[in-house]
Structure 1
Amino acid sequence: MSGNLDGARAKDFAAPRGIPDYYPPTSADFRRVRDTMTQAARLAGYGHIELPIFEDTALFARGVGESTDVVSKEMYTFTDRGDRSVTLRPEGTAGVVRAVIQHGLDRGALPIKLCYAGPFFRYEKPQAGRYRQLQQVGVEAIGVDDPALDAEVIAIADEGYRRLGLTGFRLEITSLGDDASRGPYREALQEFLFGLDLDEPTRHRAQINPLRVLDDKRPEIKAATADAPLFIDYLSDDARAHFDTVLTHLKRLGVPYEINPRLVRGLDYYTKTTFEFVHDGLGAQSGIGGGGRYDGLMRLLGAKQDLSGIGFGIGVDRTMLAMEVEGVAHADTARCRVFGVPLGAEAKAELVDVAGRLRAAGISVDLAYGDRGLKGAMKAADRSGARLALVLGDRELAERRIEVKDLSTGEQHEVALDELVSEITRLLG
């Protein structure tokens, strides 16, 4: 064992391929995207849910669909020490629905409105904006089949992007119909697909779930299916009325959209309203978020009552790339608002106490550690991004006063230590 550990110590470790690290200053933008999106959801009454990182493999096989690329090619699945097959979560909706059923949330007030954020895992070829550990913010509204709720979910994502300062994105939307629509469309689509010269795996997929063929990214398949029947032409009267009402609500909310009848999402559970936010500045990986309605998923995962649902997943990684393309101003990278510069051991002890009192008042504070001189400590203060520096030496300490310096203007003045918290609060507004 010790030999293996010695070898590990000698190795140059790196993050697994396709998994990015986020650290200062970039991590400030990461937090900004995540927090802005979740705040937009909270303003609409969505409560937080924290999901397991891994679940029973069957949950995703049944909920996401065995014919999807996510389940058939991309899942991180392994057998644990209890000989159970578990999978690192590739998406959030199935886990949320499982939690709703398990904990009886569907027996309370409807709709159930939940928001989550965190890492998800798919084994894909790493490239810009497509990672094996992807970061998402998601919302789910379960229990009411109301077109106004569809519009609300879409508007939350739209509002989040705009609060971040993005302008170069667009919303593509379509309908994947209801049960009454699916039979006639499936028949028409299969008739079209079986008339093509397809390879055997693709023909098999067309037999099981023909809609998945339209989601095939291979250029030759995309070209061959360019004239395939459109789902939107096979909508039942109820599905058509639902879709038209969603569009009417989006107009009233001021959310611009483009109807894309060829839009197909990569998961099997979508029905009716289906949408994607696209940013053309990202090239081939242009999707920055999307979602849709998933009527029937509750029943599929074992619920006693079959409740409708609508949700989205926003890609934090891709949203950050879109912000970079547009030149959106970076988030504030300041580590603190106040930086303490002690000149001597007794001054440091006093500033440790001062920092504690300021933090208790809700003000972020850092100190110059390591017994630096004045010049080095002031450089550290500048690098911290702080607005104010507190300089305390033996003379000031004896007089129970401290020097407060505005790092943006260079102005400085002395303040009584007993009045420091109120003065700093005033200066920072």
Structure 2
Amino acid sequence: MTIRIPRGTADILPGEVEKWHYVEAKIRDLCRRFNYAEIRTPIFEHTELFQRGVGETTDIVEKEMYTFVDKGERSITLRPEGTAAVVRSYVEHKLYADPKQPVKLFYVGPMFRYERPQAGRMRQFTQFGIEAIGSKDPLLDAEVIAMAMQFYAELGLTGLRLELNSVGCQTCRPKHREALVGFLQDVQDELGAEDRSRLERNPLRVLDSKDPKTRELTKDAPSILDYLCADCRPHFEAVQSYLDELGIPYVVNPRLVRGLDYYTQTAFEIMVEGIGAIGTICGGGRYNGLVAEIGGQDMPGIGFALSIERLLLALGTEGIELPIRDELDCFVVTLGETAKQKGLKLVQEWRQAGLKVDQDFLCRGLKGQLKAADRHKAKYAAIVGDNELAKGVVVLKNLATGDQQEYALAQAKAFLLKQNEQGVGL
């Protein structure tokens, strides 16, 4: 029986993985400029972390987590998102005591959710996220949003739509909840079973329903924006003012509540058209109560997360080609056993100098080796035979023009290094 890859996962093969390298390099450069440091947390955590941190009434916890009991009879879950794990680490390692505040962190790594696979949505996916913990200032909200928008812009994406909302706090949400429950009770008999259960446990999540009928029934539901308290209203207005100052366009969407229970105040999503059923490519917001929920001091936080798979899908949809360098600086062609031995030493020396070099391993002749050099997109072929060995030279052939010239070995290395620095052949 042929063993195949599990449903909802993907192999990232040569030719495609270079795009990931490029995007990941962009991520690290962006985070360097915004002064975010990398954090790496385990791929699995105690299940309670996500139950408490993400919320027991969320789709993630109720239906999508990969949970198992280990040999020590502990309930363990493959991480379905990154924020809860970062906050757990923040608390456990007392990062709140770091003199550099707020603590600004980023992560890149695999997440796991048992969902129906579709375009841009996999059961194992890779997430880039940032977390800034320790400040209530709406200026930080604007920075986080600006960082996400700048990331997409630098990769060439256009047609982005930023949706913004405030989901309030523990002061103003109860009043909105009361009004919302009263509204939903009038239409509860027409709601689906899942949305009726949410009405009792977490009515705000009904506004996040994907059921078209529910969305129509709730189009006139009370808006959280009409109930914002004396802290949340000016905070939300300040966020909008800072975005206006930065020239970042946005749309206020009072139905935007996100799918995680830890959000407070600012919530946002970045949308793009043409990537299948899922138009959201980035989501984030504030989580001012999450640190305390996980067992730490009551510290405010904000962040975002995005799927690299969905990003690459959006880039492909817009026809954006990433500037990937996958060619060789040189392919060493050897003729005869003695040249083969000397060629091995030459390849190793040039690699140690920083050049990208390969050689023949199939015992092909001159013509076959030159064809292999073309397949590897080599800029030059370095031809070494008995005549070249006798003279202490190598013939460098420009595979784009066909021109060739003899160089002493040291001069050949210097020439190739210079071409590499100048980007010749890109």
Deviation digits for residues 401-424 of structure 1, max 9, x if unmatched?
A: 112222333332222112233221
Q: Is the 8 A contact 1:190 1:206 kept in 2?
A: yes
What is the 5 A alignment of 1:224-235? 224-235=217-228
* Alpha carbons of structure 1 residues 372 and 266: separation in structure 2 relative to 1, 3 Å: same
The DSSP-based 3-state class of the residue aligned with 1:174 is: strand
Q: Is the 8 A contact 1:65 1:268 kept in 2?
A: yes
What is the 5 A alignment of 1:209-358? 209-303=202-296, 305-332=297-324, 334-358=326-350
- Aligned twin of 2:2: 12
Does 2:123 match 1:132?
A: yes
Does 2:174 match 1:188?
A: no
The whole-number CA distance in structure 1 between the counterparts of 2:14 and 2:325 is 7
Match of 1:85 among 56, 75, 82: 75
Deviation digits for residues 16-67 of structure 1, max 9, x if unmatched?
A: 0011111121222222233323321221111111111110000001100000
- Aligned twin of 1:365: 357
Q: Is the 8 A contact 1:174 1:275 kept in 2?
A: yes
Residue type of the partner of 1:28? E
Instruction: Give the TM-score normalised by structure 2.
Output: 0.94
Q: Is the 8 A contact 1:405 1:412 kept in 2?
A: yes
Using the TM superposition, give the Cα deviation of residue 354 of structure 1 relative to its aligned residue in structure 2, in angstroms.
2.5
Using the TM superposition, give the Cα deviation of residue 274 of structure 1 relative to its aligned residue in structure 2, in angstroms.
0.9
The whole-number CA distance in structure 1 between the counterparts of 2:82 and 2:344 is 43
- Aligned twin of 2:91: 101
Does 2:69 match 1:69?
A: no
* Alpha carbons of structure 1 residues 18 and 402: separation in structure 2 relative to 1, 3 Å: same
* Alpha carbons of structure 1 residues 220 and 352: separation in structure 2 relative to 1, 3 Å: same
Instruction: Give the TM-score normalised by structure 1.
Output: 0.93
* Alpha carbons of structure 1 residues 91 and 395: separation in structure 2 relative to 1, 3 Å: same
Unaligned runs of 5+ in 1: 1-10
The whole-number CA distance in structure 2 between the counterparts of 1:342 and 1:306 is 68
The whole-number CA distance in structure 2 between the counterparts of 1:215 and 1:283 is 19
The whole-number CA distance in structure 2 between the counterparts of 1:131 and 1:159 is 25
Residue type of the partner of 1:189? L
Deviation digits for residues 189-211 of structure 1, max 9, x if unmatched?
A: 11111111234543332121111
The whole-number CA distance in structure 1 between the counterparts of 2:112 and 2:6 is 12
How many residues align? The count is 418
The DSSP-based 3-state class of the residue aligned with 1:154 is: helix
The whole-number CA distance in structure 1 between the counterparts of 2:335 and 2:251 is 63
CA RMSD, 1 decimal: 1.7
The whole-number CA distance in structure 2 between the counterparts of 1:250 and 1:168 is 18
The whole-number CA distance in structure 2 between the counterparts of 1:367 and 1:147 is 57
